[in-house]
Amino acid sequence: MIRIGLVLLVMFGAACTDRTAAPLVPFATQIGTPYRILTATTRVETQAGIFGRDRQAEVSFLDLTVTVPPEHRPGRMRVGHANPDPERHFVMAGQERLPGETAFRAALRDALTGLPPTERETTIFVHGYNNSFADGAFRMAQIMRDFELPGAAMHFSWPSATNPLGYVHDRDSVLMARDGFERTLREVAAAGPERTLLVGHSMGTLLIMETLRQIEIADPGWARRNLSGVILISPDIAVDLFKTQADRFAALPRPFAIFVSERDRALRLSARLTGVTNRLGSLNKAEEVANLPVTLVDISAFDGGPLNHFTAGTSPALIQLLSRARDLDAAFQQDRAGQSGLLPGTVLTVRNATQLILSPGLVLQN
């Protein structure tokens, strides 16, 4: 099983191409649809101008422009690495270095000011294991496009090794990035968005939980006051660790949704690497988190590619279903009747927790 998992992981992430390469192609804005992605990172910038695998405590802020190709289809993220074609690939069309926190806050306020009052919200995406700086920025643009999310887009890029054999490096990088991510979250809050939705994938969810936990210890209730919702996609966190993290919150943000799949092959490998088989992203019973006000969204029935590790963003059928709720996080309100109405499926409740089991058959219903 380990050999099969490693082969799948290498197929998914390792390649002969340099996945850190993302040359600027300014004219791509004339071909694809541009998205402004404000970015914070604790990666070290190389002499070649690439934010790579090396770590630093300092946070760098950037204003990126990413274009989505004209022929884009939901769930698909095609990249050209060193040879991008704006007609077919996600492309880095612009990159401006912001000189510090003040400039970042000003840029975020600028992005929000031009929006209708009801759309002055920020979605923050935190990428997962084995992701390059460009991978995370492209994924943020894909999420904004496929789910038609309103508001400003923000990406936090922690120093992944961008190597399928760099699991330990990546976990250490997550822990080192906590203070930088806390500074970023506080800067976002200071910019004054009406709402802030925090979305994490895979190992990025560990960074979210560790950072919010440390903020809560110093400032109880901060997360509930400043976040309009948290969505953890395929979280690579041991269930017992997640529960101890959540226990330090004065109150978890609402909604708090966790996308899980029993078919997640990457998490099976993670379980073997860590020696902890019970991963949050593979959880199939709400009883395990019954004391917490969370919603488990079981998407095991959907096909998300070879690893089923980012099914929420790669399955066209699931994207179609989730997109029915124009305001994504409205599907996870505290009113459980409202949950099943916006995202139809089998709803199970166990004390404070809710489990929503989705099926591809629901896509055919209107």
What's the pLDDT tens digit per position in 254-296? 999 999 999 999 999 999 988 888 899 999 889 999 999 999 9
Query: Is residue 268 a contact partner of residue 4, using CB atoms and an 8 Å limit?
Result: no
Which residues in 247-330 belong to E strands, given as ranges? 256-260, 295-298
Boundaries of every domain in the chain: 2-298
- Rg of the chain, C-alpha, whole Å: 19
Query: Is residue 37 a contact partner of residue 140, using CB atoms and an 8 Å limit?
Result: yes
Laid out side by side, the sheet with 33-45 consists of 91-98, 51-68, 33-45, 152-157, 121-126, 195-201, 229-233, 256-260, 295-298, 353-357, 346-350
Residue range 43-47: average pLDDT? 93
Whole-number Å distance between alpha carbons of 146 and 226 = 26
Q: What is the pLDDT of residue 343?
A: 57
Q: What DSSP string runs through 94-122? A: EEEEE-SHHHHHHHHHHHHHTS-GGG-EE
Q: What is the pLDDT of residue 48?
A: 85
CATH of domain 2-298: 3.40.50
Residue range 317-338: average pLDDT? 58
Whole-number Å distance between alpha carbons of 32 and 29 = 6
Beta bridge partners of 123: 153, 197
Q: What is the mean pLDDT of the chain?
A: 89
What percent of the chain has pLDDT above 90? 75
Reported pTM: 0.92
In the block, tokens 């690495």 appear at 81
Q: What is the pLDDT of residue 107?
A: 97
In the block, tokens 């822990």 appear at 175
